[in-house]
Amino acid sequence: MILSKLKPLHHLSHHFRCRALGVSAAAVRHDTTIWTPTRLIEVSPAAESLFRITIDVSQSPELAASYTTAGQYLQLRLQEPHIRPTLLAISSPPSVAASKGVFEFLVKSIAGSTAELLCGLQKGDVVELSAAMGKGFAIDQISPPEKYQTVLIFATGSGISPIRSLIETGFSADKRTDVRLYYGARNLNRMAYQERFKEWESSGVDIVPVLSHPDDSWKGERGFVQTAFARAKRILSPRSTGAVLCGHKQMAEEVTSILVSDGVAREKILKNI
């Protein structure tokens, strides 16, 4: 697939300064965030406009240990005082930080953003990370699996990043009768993690790709995630159903509305932010 070309890093840095996206000196003085310098291990294409970023945290045990639950996120900043930090969900499971000493991310390169600058860096470049933040996905709300046999997962675009962490962390999908992942993208070229689908399916997750602008050869679901789900539904027991959402705001709002109207308890609809 053909990825859009990035501008040279120094040109983008100048562009950010011209657009006054930097933080003020006062904000820097009052920033109480603890920043840890880390090195990039890998920056590689994951799909069109999406990049796989791997960062070495093996020399920072406290930082690695701050990540305990799928769905957590952190702040990342470049070593350039005039560029704002960006918020990123961690895509790798917490166990990977413990065993391999790395954090993995799926980052969408958006023109004029800090993320675009990040995706233009190379192996060995230094970035700074905050500790992991947020409570992540409250899976205990839809446990034990015997009580919540249906789990419906919804993701769009780079929102699949923390969902990957959730699936690979494990939430006893194989002990539930109906676990579905509705994963939306514009087309297959923009759908990350396709190489992981078989592994996810073997863990008990039924994957339903939904493409909004597929080519003529596509035989699967078309349109948006919420409309694909509305067509299928198949909620046999709302009281034993949970859901996990991550992605576009409109998708999350519409899916939540469908689920609640069908009798799914709102506290059983999990989000990471």
**From CA 172, how far away is CA 152, in angstroms rounded?**
13
Instruction: Enter the pTM of the model.
Output: 0.87
pLDDT at position 80 is: 84
pLDDT at position 28 is: 45
One-letter identity of residue 27: A
Our CA dihedral for 96, 119, 200, 181, rounded to 10 degrees, sits at: 130
As to burial, measured by CB atoms within 10 angstroms (0-12 exposed, 13-18 middle, 19+ buried), residue 88 is buried
pLDDT at position 30 is: 65
pLDDT at position 233 is: 80
User: Phi-psi category of 170—alpha, beta or left, where left has phi over 0 and alpha has psi -120 to 50?
Assistant: left
pLDDT at position 106 is: 98
Average pLDDT, consecutive stretches of 10 residues, N- to C-terminus, the chain (273 residues): 41 43 44 94 98 98 97 95 94 96 97 96 97 97 97 97 98 96 98 98 98 96 96 90 97 96 97 91
